[in-house]
Structure 1
């Protein structure tokens, strides 16, 4: 696959997935593959990159697109959490476009703490503003202050990106086998007669 087609494929993947993982690997036949699904176990030279492209706002009403661009919303949740379900329901009912990050591992907890959260979930970020725990009134006030409409203006076809781990796991990179370094002179052909090394007549 030449570089032009590789970049075209990457561009397409970026436009489709606002928050996803992109994988690149070499198959047993030597073919390079780019995909948003994990590679087979037999794949070689696997590379993984998190894609965080800018959210697409062109199809959204002006007021909503403006708020989304200036004050993006991220919801941190965990499994078996009733308050997280209530938080998600509030955002969906109000028509708030958001990214969801799940917190289920020690790495996820560390990432949550990096962005200013504690161990209380759900955790909401609206631009630089943050709220721990779910309280509908406080969340609605924060969203209103950020310019989000009170009632949903999302097109019926709009879908939030799928939830992903707060700290996505990186695939272990295969160890590169050290190829023996050969001296250029040792690869050259033996001299014939009075010819310099590497030349034969």
Structure 2
């Protein structure tokens, strides 16, 4: 096969893939904000099965940003609602930094989830099949590892602008942990020993009755 034929075949395959992934981009579909049993928040155009016990509300790509989505241009808000972008990053991860820079430079509104704890890693493995970072989702599409060219192709296919159209007032939301672990309730403060002793009624220790293993009834 000639190099021209190879390039044409590769281009056709990408077009078919992009068409299959984003053929519904022109259709107005609801976006569901799904909170799983492990606390992880995802967005999808399909509701989860009832057996997952996940909490579902209608949402958008900017659900974690509160009212920030209202400041986005209409077309960007529309595509971000249909195909929200979420970036999963870790500490001391050079490719993660490059990935964030690429998305920021292009003006992609995205949610960032950090993977730092054992619970985070387990949740990432259940979702992506491994624990490699960075990890990107565009709608339901998953991209493992940072590749400027590959990410650009999928963002283009989703309909994101090729250059930033974000207003000057837009602020990227702070990163949040992939799994939110509720802190245990604080134990009641211990009373002062002397106060505790004075508050307790005076009792006379009673030696345990003799037994076959302790014939003298000795208290230990």
TM (norm. structure 2) is 0.53
Residue 75 (structure 1) aligned to one of 77, 83, 87: 87
Aligned to 1:158: 170
Q: Describe the SS at the equivalent of 2:75.
A: helix
Matched, 1:89 2:101: yes
Larger radius of gyration: 2
- Larger helix proportion, structure 1 or 2? 2
Give the Å deviation of 1:57.
2.2
Matched, 1:137 2:149: yes
Q: Describe the SS at the equivalent of 2:70.
A: coil
Distance change (3 Å), C-alpha of 1:117 and 1:77: farther
Aligned to 1:102: 114
Give the Å deviation of 1:58.
2.1
Give the Å deviation of 1:170.
1.0
Matched, 1:118 2:150: no
Distance change (3 Å), C-alpha of 1:117 and 1:68: farther
Contact 1:117 1:132 in 2 (8 A): no
Q: CA RMSD in A?
A: 2.0
Taking the TM superposition and a 5 Å limit, the aligned residue runs for 1:1-201 are 52=64, 56-173=68-185
Structure 1 segments unaligned to the other structure (5+ residues): 1-50, 177-201
State the 4+ residue runs in structure 1 displaced beyond 3 angstroms: 51-56, 173-176
Aligned length: 126
Structure 2 segments unaligned to the other structure (5+ residues): 1-62, 189-220
Deviations 1:124-180 (A, max 9, x none): 00100010100000001111111110000001111121001111221114689xxxx
